[in-house]
Amino acid sequence: QVHLVESGGGLVQAGGSLRLSCAASARIFNTYTMGWYRRAPGKQRELVASVTGSGTTNYADSLKGRFTISRDNAENTVYLQMNSLKPEDTAVYYCNAKYSLFVYWGQGTQVTVSS
């Protein structure tokens, strides 16, 4: 069992930045592919970005250039730096950990971008 705890969400004006953090309890954190997903009101959950244990990243095409995912394997933490935020980025952001057939989710953190 992997426990994920997100932090860093909040209210920000359009054009601002936020950094989300996700602390994981996994003993072998560096074997997990970590990801950030989001669910906007009335929409399905979508992938924001992911990073493998070796550091290979993947982004939703629409977010490339504004969002950056990173991880610190020594601290069992994954980050999402979000810049130039837009009102349409408003969503609940979820941390995700995958290893083989195992998938774990955090409880989510709300990000609200005001216009």
- List, for residues 15-71, the tens digit of each pLDDT value: 999 999 999 997 778 889 999 999 999 999 999 999 999 999 999 999 989 999 999
- List, for residues 91-113, the tens digit of each pLDDT value: 999 999 999 999 999 999 999 99
CA atoms within 13 A on the CB side of 36: 34
- pLDDT, position 72: 94
CB 49 within 8 A of CB 56: no
Question: Tokens 């020594």 correspond to what residue?
Answer: 74
CA angle 72, 88, 24 (to 5 degrees): 20
CA angle 53, 54, 57 (to 5 degrees): 85
- 69 bridge partner residues: 80
- pLDDT, position 55: 93
